[in-house]
Homo-oligomer: A and B are copies of this chain.
Amino acid sequence: MDHPRGHTEPGAEADGELESLVARVPIFSGLDHGQIREIAARVQPRIVPRNEQLYGAGDVNPYLRIIHTGTVKVYRITESGHEQVLRVLGAGDFLGEKALISPSVSDHFAVTLTEAEICSLEHAAIRDYLLRYPSVALTMLETLSARLGSTEEQVSAIAGEDAASRVATYLVGLAEELKRNSVALPITKKDVASFLGLTPETLSRRLAGFEDNGWIHQQGNRRIDILDLEALRLV
């Protein structure tokens, strides 16, 4: 089972494809081919339809999930009923790490926004890999640390910046990430508003204001052309 094979070609066999899938996952980069094979053997890949809830508050969620294609929205609902979008995950990202060690009850929801290809790994298995292949743990640490950093930014933006500034910063970030001036929102405007700690009405008004200023141009509900990036940076 765990003897290393000389060639690194994925080959044409059925799980060769699965192995190359695993090899492209950031947290497994740095593992050699034999280790990739071992993990691929324990992975359960699945095509998940759009709008399917992966887990919800109250669930005991025993899987670490890795997204190969598609996007997933992670949000939380407060005691008072407020829905807060926390982040949007895409190809290469993982979720479900919270209960990795102490399998606690989740207060998160995760829903697919598009059809998605997702691999599930049981927590016991992941824990085993983390102990045997420390580089996997190191990469996860780096990812979690980055995630903490952006959630901290979310806190200080919501607490300290006004609505226009938050919306502008979000658009600039999107444009920089995509390296394009015409961006497609990864989520609905309603969800963008929630992510930014705003109501949909306020987001709509600010975007309309930007459009009046000639800084952006909106097409349909999702596409925004950015006409003046510098003006947005200065908001």
Chain B residues with Cβ below 8 Å from A161 are 78, 80, 82
Q: Are A142 and B82 closer than 8 Å at their CB atoms? A: no
User: Are B86's CB and A152's CB within 8 A?
Assistant: yes
Which B residue's beta carbon lies closest to that of A127? Answer: B138
> How distant is the Cα of A140 from the Cα of B148 in the complex, in angstroms?
13
CB distance from A141 to the nearest CB of B (A): 6
Contacts of A84 in B (CB 8 A): 152, 155-156, 159-160
Which of A41-49, A93-101, A174-182 forms contacts with chain B?
A: A93-101
Nearest neighbor of A198 in chain B, beta-carbon distance: B159
Interfacial chain B residues near A160, Cβ < 8 Å: 78, 80, 82, 84, 197
| Cα(A116)–Cα(B101), bound, Å | 30
In residues 176-231 of chain A, which contact B (Cβ within 8 Å)?
Answer: 194, 197
* Contacting pair B86 A155 (CB below 8 A): yes
Residue of B nearest to A108 (CB): B152
Is B145 touching A135 in the complex (CB atoms < 8 A)? no
A151 at interface (Cβ–Cβ under 8 A)? Answer: yes
Which residue, A82, A100, A127, A156, has most C-beta atoms of chain B within 10 A?
Answer: A156
Cβ–Cβ contact A145 & B142, under 8 A: no
CB distance from A197 to the nearest CB of B (A): 4
What residue of chain B has the Cβ atom nearest to residue A169's Cβ? B79
In the complex, the chain B residue whose C-beta lies closest to that of A97 is B145
Chain B residue numbers with a CB within 8 Å of A147 are: 148
Q: Least Cβ distance of A219 to chain B in Å?
A: 28
Contacting A82 at CB < 8 Å: which of B82, B86, B156, B194? B156
Residues in B whose Cβ lies below 8 Å from that of A86: 152, 155-156
Task: Write the residues of chain A forming the contact surface with B, with a CB cutoff of 8 angstroms.
Answer: 76, 78, 80, 82, 84, 86, 97-98, 100-102, 127, 130-132, 134-135, 137-138, 140-142, 144-145, 147-149, 151-152, 154-161, 165, 194, 197
A selection of 16 A-B contacts at a CB cut-off of 8 Å is A84-B159, A86-B155, A98-B149, A100-B141, A102-B142, A130-B141, A131-B135, A132-B134, A134-B134, A137-B141, A140-B141, A147-B148, A148-B151, A151-B151, A158-B197, A159-B197
